[in-house]
Chain A
Amino acid sequence: MPNVILEIKNLKKTYPNGVRGLRGVSFQVLRGEFLVIIGLSGSGKSTLLRCINRLTDATNGQIKISIDQTAEKVDVTKFKSPTAIRALRKSIGMIFQQFNLVPRHTVIKNVLMGKLATTTTLKSILGLFSVADRTEALNYLELVGIADKAYLRADHLSGGQQQRVAIARALMQKPQILLADEPVASLDPATSHTVMNYLKKVNHELGITIICNLHDLSIVRQYATRVIALKDGEIVFEGSPLAINEDWFQKIYGIGALEKEIG
């Protein structure tokens, strides 16, 4: 199967305090998919994403990634050296619910941080990013529609704008996969759609595979090409977003849950 970009087998994560975040999760992701992961808070969505780029170390199981189309898939849970982990992270962008920008730096500097993996330590400390990098940063800011804010401090931007900066920063890495951990959970509905539309654009125009955790089912139906639902660290649903009917909904979110309340 040449177009499988990510293959997860029997992934388990037990935290040091004994909490079982993931209890054996297996699935595949095709290149170019917009995969959405849903589930109640605490169901293990963040844990799953963070295992993929090794912000968290899985306890058990395999995460096989084929970074470029030709290469063999490698199991990233086996990576030991910091260099290998950094190389992995370089090819996987990530955006977060709280945006995780550096508030005191300018927008463009935040975007340039996407190039840290390919900049030497000395140059990056002195802030010596190449002209090509700067042009690229401005181009990505253009892509997410906030090039005019490039020289403002990041914390002077609104939430939606900050998340777009975070997307631009991730794009600087030239990632194959973009992980999004509840990217719109702290944004209002209108802004949420703007940000989701930029993710869709990234998915369509740049062909970047997206794995996105979401809460709001109405958003899920509009953007996902496929949905996986987690419950207590296990997959309880896998399929088209349109297949999530009332029965499935109750299974995923618990008996008596109403769609409105979840959103």
Chain B
Amino acid sequence: MRVPLSWLREYAQVPADAAEVARRLTAAGLEVESAEPVGHDIGGVVVAQVLSIEELTGTRKPIRYCRVAASRRQLDEAPAGASAVICGATNFAVGDRVALALPGAVLPGGVEIGTRKTYGHLSEGMICSAVELAAGDEYAGILVLPPDAPLGEDFASYAGLRDEVLDIAVTPDRGYAVSVRGLARELATAFAVPFTDPADAGLPGPGVLGGPLDHAGPDVWPASIADPTACDRFVLREVRGFSAEAPTPLWLQVRLARSGVRAVSLAVDVTNYLMLELGQPLHAFDRSKLSGEIVVRRARPGERLETLDHVARTLDPDDILITDSSGPISMAGTMGGLATEIDQASTDLVIEAAHFSAEGTAKMSRRHRLHTEASYRFERGVDRELPLRASAKAVAMLASLGGGRVVPGAIHVSVDVPPVLISMAAHYPDRVAGVAYGRDTVVRRLREVGCAVRETRIPAPTVAPWRASPPEPPELSELSELSEPSEPSEPPAQVPVSALEVTPPSWRSDLTDPADLAEEVIRLEGYADIPVRMPRALAGRGLTRRQRLRGSVGRALAETGYVEVLSSPFGSGADADLLGLPPEDLRRNAAAVANPLADDEPLLRTTMLPGLFRVLARNIGLGFADVALFETGLVFRPRPGAPDSAPILPVDRAPTVAELASLEAALPDQPLRLAAVLAGARELDGWWGAGRPASWADAVQAARAVARACRVPLDIRAERYPPWHPGRCAAIYARVAAEPGDGSGNGSGNGGPRQWLAGHAGELDPRVVGAFGLPARTCAVELDLSVLLTAADGIGPVQAPQLSTYPLATQDVALVVGADVPAAAVESALVAGAGDLLEDLRLFDVYTGSQVGERRKSLAYTLRFRAPDRTLTVAETTAARDAAVAEAARRTGAVPRS
């Protein structure tokens, strides 16, 4: 909220400059974002009187050549000595008082005014408009001052232009502070000076209102409340014989402008002014456009209203309306209707001041995307005791400034609202802050806030009196399945301290709980004075294994040349087509955002790849052709048969296990994925020789590196899976022990180890490469880290190897197999056949060519044997090698190469 400091000073006379005001308000929780000096740079502008006007001819637009007196002497000696000024405005007459910038004057923003020759005359200064003086925000000709404006007086002083404008970020809980009244109260408290409540000060008396404040007015337009949940107080007052032409006084214009509110007309300006000052939104109807009793009610199906912004709105049955016999005439606390708007011909005004439901106005303004100064305040809570006062001030101001007559009394409809009473242990703020304030301080601070405080001897029952009764015993036992059983709750200790029975003031609807009261005490005492108590060391268990492994995976890839990036998790339905996914592919089933950031990207990713492809393309576009990227993140897979929506559970107790399960069931599955893409050279050309392009093998190797970091053994098989190249796609399976896990993966029978599909790696299908505009032979891997980490959970601690120091014996074998026999199959056969003496084996050559025959290949291995307890004989190692070859022959048809 923007507010001139001079306005606040009117109600809290603080002995401090703007900087100190800003500091103390901020310390109290009203963050002053800026304190901007305004008007201090204005100089040389004086109140002057127009002596003569000569309309120049032959100009494109009307131009006046005027003589203006800037002092009594000049007036008396006129025309000699008076300034001659050229002026382009025509809204003034001889005898009017105006603001004259003399040669040498400075206007806001440092604009200097000099003597200049224009339209064939010498112009000695400038007659100013409100905009030029930063005293208004809209150009409406030059500023014509009241006839009693003192001639020759410094205009900035006269109009009170020298000021500071505070811009205060009011948090949404502090509705009362969206007003001069609320801010001045805070300021008075912060400086411990008296506060004058503008809701009480300057109220019109019976002479104006025809009786006391709540005096009923039989002649005032009738009104009633049909829905007490929508509105609990509704006040109407009337002014008749008002002159719509009457100007808004300069001081009021200046305050509105400084507060960032546009001047419109006297009637609107007065209601806005009082809204700014008191926080009570007001609405003025043209009495001649009303028909029948005004009723506050909810909308009926099909009702429509054209609002002041010329939008015809279809109303929702939940909307709160002001209606008359013609139907809706205003959206309560949000925006008035066009048909009953006051205009230049309006003479009889009906002023509405009401207290509408905060929730109701919030819903309505959100539903209609109609956020106004009024709805902003009602959403945050308006003082229920203001309508009678604010409306009284309004009619009195309108009558005195607009020349009308106040109709005696008011229509005042009110619904009884039970008072809020908060019972709080007197030492509760001390317990929250860790500071011993003491009861007296607590009581004093609460009273400064405006609370009525009564001290009792009965201990406050609880800090959460609104809590629902504890759950039924069966639910308690259910809950204990979910969480570690906690110790049974002890009854709260009966501390022999007094309780405070606190009634918050009518303007503090945000104060409902002891915690709210504690915050008031603590912030007014000062957050700065809360001590710093350094933490004791706790018995934490450190990162979980899954968390540690995730770090290892990221480091493993980074250390082999992959650059981690973050890509957008949003995508379009076209991505699935670009990936070449078949119609039934589960990756086509994506969650959609109802209000997406970009209309063409409404879907949440089901695979990491399209996002990474776009990042890859972006980097290549920036000139980085040799790139290896990776990302870890969640993908979102709606669960088949999930409910339409997640329920909104109660909050006055813990949810039951069944209730929590109903939330989880509605959420998509969100596995953690890792994906990497490679393009260009994996090894660069250089002085060391030729490099080599990234290939499917690098993608598979990345999968191996990830699995190795997780210590999960893999099985790699050739499979076809879009978007990979059908002949260069490896399916990555995690090998898991038989017993653990709830087996989400493809089990391979009972007993032996099982395999879970963990992802795919290889070269991308050329069509996909083309569709995403990627370089030829781009490779990719996508792994389900959740699967790998779960597989890792089943793996026990590393068992140290037994290191034999007996000599190594090596045997090389070359085996010829069919071209389509996977090397992995040959290798596992060799391992199985060689037995325990095999220390390791390595494929050192793959040969295809005429020597081994068509559609055959030769695989050459080195087998390394070693025994734990003896030196192996040649016969032993040869026997082991032969057994390995025999097993390879049996499983894969391998033939030793001759």
| Chain B associates with chain A | no
Point out residues on B near A: beta carbons under 8 Å: none
